[in-house]
Amino acid sequence: MKRKNMIWVVAVLVPSAAIAATIAIGVDRVRSGDDAPATAQRWGIEIAGVRRAAAGFAIDFEYRVVDPDRAAPLFQRTSQPYLIDQRNGMRLTVSNSAKIGALRSRGTSKNGNRQFIIFANNGQQVVAGDQVTVVVGDFRVENLTVE
């Protein structure tokens, strides 16, 4: 295999496979957040969890839509999601790939759909056990524990 092709495989396919595998695992568990019923009532989502992904170089925020109308603000393209590590105040932004764009769910969602936002964890600053806050426009949920 040519060197250029090998670099492409390692740089694009390996992280994509790791992220896809992380998204497919354990979405039914709700272990994070102070008040899951209030989050579902106000924002129309159930939080599935916040997990390290891609060998710790990404943080995966997963949720399930229970009310598409209330969850609509999470899908607005103009909103810029970010994650705050409560331990050190560090702000992580959404991973952005040149080929596929921002690594987050887009468009509209149906009731019961599983969704995700992948935050870049450069330097692996956020570790398992850290408390984080996720912000997307007016949506804000605090005290989520990274698994």
How far is 119 from 114, CA to CA, in rounded Å? 17
Cβ burial 115-147 (10 Å sphere, 16+ → b, else e): bbbbbbbeeeebeeebbbebbbeebebeebebe
Total Cβ atoms within 10 A of residue 76:
13
> Which class is domain 3-145?
mainly beta
**Domain range summary for the chain, segments of one domain joined by +:** 3-145
Higher local confidence (pLDDT), 77 or 141: 141
**Where does the pLDDT of residue 76 fall: very low under 50, low under 70, confident under 90, or very high at 90 and above?**
confident
* pLDDT tens digits, one per residue of 108-121: 677 888 999 999 99
Selection from 32, 35, 43, 48 nearest residue 144 by Cα: 32
Q: What is the mean pLDDT of residues 77-91?
A: 93
Report percent pLDDT > 70 for the chain: 75
In 3-state terms, what secondary structure has residue 124? helix
How far is CA 145 from each of CA 26, 59, 97, 134, rounded to the nearest angstrom? 15, 11, 26, 11
